[in-house]
């Protein structure tokens, strides 16, 4: 997401403990079993990786010597308590990573101090409700990651930080239902990436995300696509991810009726990876007429429907890893780029490609079966 620093300088040990990555600025104390911040770290430290150490609590004196700190990684430090003013001396701090700490107490002023905190990572911290998180001083957040917790309700508080929010991650929680009032505040955001994959979603109120403008929405792993599309009615997103997982027993094949909800959603790219289609008909893609990219990777299609010309804005059709090939009973839009392992040379010469070649249509293509070149005419 762009908030990790990279340096090519030779690392040097600091008093046999932490490693100096960039002189006077970037230090790694990862996995040293430390119970406090070493006094040998210079006050000019900007980036500190203190992951896999032993800090049971964060006090207002824990980081008070590091006034220039900008990035702080506290992954799996066994932190349970974050007291008031823990970061009050770190006014420049923009990233806090607390992944893998079982948080039992967060003071109402736990994150007060930084003037522009942009990235807060609370993955695998044992959270079960959003009300546990103090929202004070989070108004500048751009990234808010809350994945792999036990959150069961997406009821966002009225002071939830949306003004600058670009990435909101709730993947792998226990969210099953979404009501309109719970997510209404997201209408204040713009070009938001919302990740809800891995939640066993059973109900989303019709139009719950209406009038919300997203960049990307990820509902990967949701068994019933129609549940998602119902909630997305009247919304706008560049990317909509509806793929399923390799280890998920998808007992609900995707039917044309399940895709009808796409008619009332403004979307450019749709990802349907690993979905199994019940059957393809002339109505399967009728609600995707404005689509630019369609990903059908590992959908094991035997044929594409004859009406794909209605998708006249389609620029990319991805059909990777269908080992038996895909038959095309009709024309793919003129400007569409095909990506895939291979496509059978069948009726009307529409789908034809050698392994791992991207083709713009029409053009010369290598016929996989007779190894001769042919021109596709439309």
Task: State the residue range of the domain holding 94.
Answer: 15-151
pLDDT at 330 over 80: no
Q: Is residue 107 part of a domain?
A: yes
**Contacts of 120 by beta carbon, 8 Å cutoff, 6+ apart:** 95, 96, 98, 111, 138, 141, 143, 144, 145
How many CB atoms neighbour CB 233 within 10 A? 18
Q: Which two tokens stand for residue 349?
A: 């010469």
CA 201 to each of CA 151, 196, 226, 229, 277: distance values in angstroms, whole numbers, following the listed order: 13, 9, 11, 12, 20
17 — pLDDT class (breaks 50, 70, 90): confident
Average pLDDT taken over every residue of the chain: 83
CA 72 to each of CA 4, 194, 252, 377: distance values in angstroms, whole numbers, following the listed order: 10, 24, 44, 59
Q: How many domains does the chain have?
A: 1
219 — pLDDT class (breaks 50, 70, 90): very high
Q: Give the pLDDT of residue 126.
A: 98
The neighbouring-strand residues paired with 364 are 375
Tell me the C-alpha distance between 375 and 369, whole Å: 15
Tell me the C-alpha distance between 310 and 115, whole Å: 51
Three-class secondary structure of residue 321 per DSSP:
coil
Q: Give the pLDDT of residue 93.
A: 98
Termini Cα distance of the chain: 43
Q: Is residue 254 part of a domain?
A: no
Tell me the C-alpha distance between 30 and 97, whole Å: 13
Q: Is residue 2 part of a domain?
A: no
Q: What is the mean pLDDT of residues 147-176?
A: 97
Q: Is residue 357 part of a domain?
A: no
What's 72's domain CATH number? 3.80.10.10
CA 343 to each of CA 262, 301, 357, 378: distance values in angstroms, whole numbers, following the listed order: 27, 11, 10, 18
How many CB atoms neighbour CB 186 within 10 A? 23
Q: Is residue 374 part of a domain?
A: no
Q: In terms of Cα–Cα distance, which of 81, 73, 85 is closest to 55?
A: 81
Q: Is residue 367 part of a domain?
A: no
7 — pLDDT class (breaks 50, 70, 90): very low
Q: Is residue 240 part of a domain?
A: no
Q: In terms of Cα–Cα distance, which of 303, 302, 219 is closest to 262?
A: 219
Q: Give the pLDDT of residue 285.
A: 78
How many CB atoms neighbour CB 7 within 10 A? 12
This prediction's pTM: 0.85
pLDDT, tens digit, for every residue of 103-134? 999 999 999 999 999 999 999 999 999 999 99
Residue 362: asked if its preceding bond is cis (omega within 30°), the reply is yes
H-type alpha helices, the chain: 180-183, 225-231
Q: What is the mean pLDDT of residues 36-55?
A: 97
pLDDT, tens digit, for every residue of 298-323? 887 777 776 666 778 888 888 775 55
Task: Give buried/exposed letters for 274-285 (b at 16+ CB in 10 A, else e).
Answer: bbebeebeeebb
Q: Is residue 207 part of a domain?
A: no
Q: Give the pLDDT of residue 350.
A: 37
Tell me the C-alpha distance between 167 and 141, whole Å: 9
């Amino acid at each position: 997401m762009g908030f990790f620093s990279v340096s090519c300088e030779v690392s040097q040990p600091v008093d046999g403990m932490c490693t100096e990555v960039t002189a006077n600025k970037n230090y790694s104390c990862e996995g040293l079993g430390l119970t406090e911040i070493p006094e040998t770290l210079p006050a000019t430290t900007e980036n500190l990786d203190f992951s896999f150490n032993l800090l049971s609590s964060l006090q207002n004196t824990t980081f008070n010597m590091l006034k220039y700190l900008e990035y702080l990684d506290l992954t799996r430090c066994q932190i349970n308590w974050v007291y008031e003013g823990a970061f009050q001396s770190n006014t420049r701090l923009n990233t806090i990573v607390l992944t893998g700490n079982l948080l039992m107490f967060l003071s109402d002023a736990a994150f007060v101090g930084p003037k522009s905190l942009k990235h807060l990572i609370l993955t695998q911290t044992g959270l079960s409700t959003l009300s546990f998180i103090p929202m004070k001083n989070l108004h500048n957040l751009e990234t808010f990651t809350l994945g792999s917790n036990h959150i069961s309700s997406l009821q966002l508080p009225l002071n939830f930080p949306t003004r600058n929010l670009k990435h909101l991650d709730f993947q792998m929680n226990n969210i099953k239902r979404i009501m309109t009032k719970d997510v209404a505040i997201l209408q204040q955001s713009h070009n938001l990436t919302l990740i809800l994959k891995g939640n066993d979603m059973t109900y989303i109120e019709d139009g719950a995300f209406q009038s919300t403008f997203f960049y990307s929405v990820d509902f990967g792993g949701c068994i019933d696509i129609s549940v998602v599309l119902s909630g997305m009615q009247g919304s706008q997103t560049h990317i909509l991810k509806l793929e399923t997982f390799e280890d998920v027993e998808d007992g609900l094949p995707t039917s044309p009726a399940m895709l009808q909800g796409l008619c009332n959603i403004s979307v450019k790219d749709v990802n349907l990876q690993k979905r199994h289609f019940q059957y393809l008909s002339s109505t399967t893609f009728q609600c995707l007429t404005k689509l630019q990219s369609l990903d059908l990777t590992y959908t094991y299609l035997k044929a594409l429907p004859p009406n794909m010309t209605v998708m006249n804005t389609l620029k990319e059709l991805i059909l990777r890893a269908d080992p038996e090939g895909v038959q095309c009973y009709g024309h793919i839009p003129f400007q569409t780029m095909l990506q895939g392992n291979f496509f059978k040379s069948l009726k009307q010469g529409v789908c034809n490609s050698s392994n791992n070649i991207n083709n713009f249509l029409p053009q010369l293509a290598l016929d996989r079966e007779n190894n001769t070149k042919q021109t596709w005419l439309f």
